[in-house]
Amino acid sequence: MTRTLVIVGNGMVGHRVVQALRDRDVTGAWRVVILAEESHPAYDRVALSSYVDSWCPEALRLPGAEFTEDETVELRLGDPVTDVDPAARTVTTSSGVVRSYDALVLATGSRPFVPPVPGHDLAGCHVYRTIDDLDGIRAAARHADDGVVVGGGLLGLEAANALRQLGVRPHVVELAPRLMPLQVDEGGGAVLRGRIERLGVTVHTGVATQEVAGSADGTVTGVRLSDGSRIDTPLVVFAAGVRPRDDLARRVGLAVGERGGVAVDANCRTSEPSIFAVGECASAAGRVYGLVGPGYAMAEVVVDQLLGGAAELGAADTSTKLKLLGVDVASFGDAHAQSPGALAVVHHDPVAGTYKKLVVSDDATTVLGGMLVGDAGAYGLLRPLVGAALPATPDQLLAPEGGGGPVGPAALPDSAQVCSCHAVTKGALNAAIDDGCADVPALKSCTRAGSGCGSCVPMLKRMLAARGVEQSRALCEHFEHTRAELFEIVRSTGLRTFSDLIARHGRGRGCDVCKPVAASILASLGGGHVLDGEQAGLQDTNDRYLANIQRNGTYSVVPRIPGGEITPDRLLLIAQVAQDFGLYTKITGAQRIDLLGATVDQLPRIWRRLVEAGFESGHAYGKALRAVKSCVGSTWCRFGVQDSVSLAVDLELRYRGLRAPHKIKAGVSGCARECAEARGKDVGVIATDSGWNLYVGGNGGFTPRHAELLVTDVDTDTLVRLIDRFLMFYVRTADRLQRTAAWIEAMEGGLDHLRAVIVDDSLGICADLEAAMAAHVTDYVDEWRGVLDDPEKLARFSSFVNAPGTPDPSISFREERGQRVPVLLGVPEVKSR
């Protein structure tokens, strides 16, 4: 006989109960009734801040949350349960609906904690918890320049980021002496604070919110702090923590924990055996967990109990890995070294803005915990090592990804828990790999590892590689194709939007990996201006504003100066623009002039002056051709044998705006003395007495490489034809963010194969490559001018959406060597001689 399970609440953990039961109830023993308070189907509350990007609730919706095709599940939204009768085993909703149950799961979650300060209930005060909360904050932000977030923990920093994205200057007020006091220590908190303040967030720590001041009509006018200061604002967001929603349980008479929460045993049963509690409303062993991982573990225990199992709740893994305002923060195990005799090894790099701490036992043999701020690359290895023997020195372990040395998956014991969301061990994963799981999706399906928060996915890939399993080159989990395959799909089908591409050839909503790649491919194939329609939402930060963002929140403007050649009149114009807008000017090693310190609202005005004088975007912000560097060549130099300047100008104008998997740099030297350093470029040309030598695949950066000689003594027409082929072949076939050097190195046959393809036309594609480049040259349009000619695009360039033209007062400057340089909060001033 089919029994009925009623679930009160439709959050992430309640949804996990339904998913797990539907997956494992092969006999159909249970039907499920979900009674939800919110009007939205279950959504990813952990990713709530991303709602600000699209304002589309569906983008957050959890897979299968509607249950439209599952006749065994009834979902009732917007009708919360108001009463439970354990004796009759019924629940009643606010609309009067009564449902009987054989088992009941309380998944009511938590409510925001609002400190009982005077004025906390004034109009203009909000909490940060649900989609509806964010809708309210969005409406209030239209009338606010500054906003105050009460609480400097995880929720508080997410709320501050949301305000920042809404064009409001955030102030974060935290009672503790540092941000995120539960996750990081004093050193980690200092690094976190410094990086966040550089983004324009004002941080107040060690002070309490004393009063929310209001006007006669009951609206917020400001916040008074315990240090006597006042912040004028019409907008206050309380994000000072949560409290378990146990009010329904209390009315029913269920036992509750000493610090709140529905008391549950190891089977997640309450004091009434037919009622379970999971997630943030449950108190297990006297503790309420505000993390999704322990909640998912509770969900699995409940489902096992419902199906006749004997699963019990073990020790909860409270490890967290987050990205807050673009800053990595992770903690695991005994992060604060509270165990008797615990020792802490700390690596602090104030220049890089990173803080890494590993906590070990008093005999330095066992990993106890740790924390990472600014760079969480080692998290995948370190978290599973908690409780295990040190496999290497702490220095090796704290290096990113183990420093590339002997420390890797092999260092983990089989009992190490790789996936904390689903308690999946290394042994279980290796068994799944041995049984035929050959990629990450297969491991997710078989073990559920990686299907929770996703922080263990890099380790899954490393484990597959360590077991000798050839890895898929799929771009990301949303596309099974490589970047090169996606390029061919777009080219052959004529698709012009990401929506069409993912609908026909991918799955899901896309991510920050595949969206910029698709944007680059569409731009390479003439998909219109990069800020047209949905294209704008696909771009990386710099491409969204056609400028490079700098560390103090300002932008750089880099006009194209082909070949480094410029007339005195144009040079004077650049100087005048820099002077009028108070910009810092710098001549770079790439023969460009950088104008730094422009605010976002100044960008179009600066561009207009430059464009009217004949300048255009130098694409310093894009994965595109940056510049073609040159010496003065045979025109001026007594050693020059060819006109390097003319060729550099021609090449830069030919390939300007060419979008690619990574940035492209080129150089032309007029003789073998190599003053343009052409052999350090993706495309390097060196003059000879008989013509030109062409070098390819050089680059600077972290791993500098010399370019390799492709052909010698070719004439100019042949040279340009070969560069056309080389660049277009690279654009079509390279992987995401792969420089030309790495592309050639990874190519089977290397340089010899490349030479056969683009010189000897071994694949018969050279005519097509040349035609594609010719189309690019013909269709090129300056991206700056494209914004200036479009009022809709121009509207994007405002520091504050609710006050166009208002400068950002959080940005300030000081003078150094006769120019303005940024004042960076938390960074000591270095006096120049």
How far is it, in rounded angstroms, from Cα 137 to Cα 143? Answer: 10
Is 637 annotated among the ligand-binding residues?
yes
Structure tokens at 108: 């009511």
Query: 270: Cβ–Cβ under 8 A, 6 or more apart, which residues?
Result: 106, 249, 254, 255, 262, 263, 264, 276, 277
Is 631 annotated among the ligand-binding residues?
yes
Structure tokens at 249: 């349980």
How far is it, in rounded angstroms, from Cα 775 to Cα 598? Answer: 34
Query: 248: Cβ–Cβ under 8 A, 6 or more apart, which residues?
Result: 8, 81, 82, 84, 106, 108
Residues 669/685, Cβ–Cβ less than 8 Å:
yes
Is 675 annotated among the ligand-binding residues?
yes
Residue labelled with tokens 């990713």: 47
Residues 372/356, Cβ–Cβ less than 8 Å:
yes
How far is it, in rounded angstroms, from Cα 259 to Cα 241? Answer: 14
How far is it, in rounded angstroms, from Cα 697 to Cα 680? Answer: 8
Residue labelled with tokens 């495309």: 683
Structure tokens at 614: 């004949």
Ordered DSSP codes for 15-80? HHHHHHHHHH-TT--EEEEEE-SSSSPPB-GGGGGGHHHH--GGGGBPTTTT-TT-TTEEEE-S--
How crowded is the C-beta side of 437, counted as CA atoms within 13 Å?
A: 22
Residues 730/743, Cβ–Cβ less than 8 Å:
yes
Secondary element (H or E) of residue 756: helix 750-758
Is 514 annotated among the ligand-binding residues?
no
How far is it, in rounded angstroms, from Cα 614 to Cα 777? Answer: 18
Residues 790/604, Cβ–Cβ less than 8 Å:
no
Ordered DSSP codes for 360-419? E-TTS-BEEEEEEES--TTHHHHGGGTTSBPSS-HHHHHSGGGGGSS-SGGGS-TT-EEE
Structure tokens at 169: 């200057």
Relative orientation angle of helices 514-524 and 498-505, to the nearest 10 degrees: 110
Residues 361/385, Cβ–Cβ less than 8 Å:
no
Residue 105 forms beta bridges with which residues? 7, 276
- Annotation: binding site for [4Fe-4S] cluster: 631, 637, 671, 675
- Annotation: binding site for siroheme: 675
- Annotation: binding site: 631, 637, 671, 675
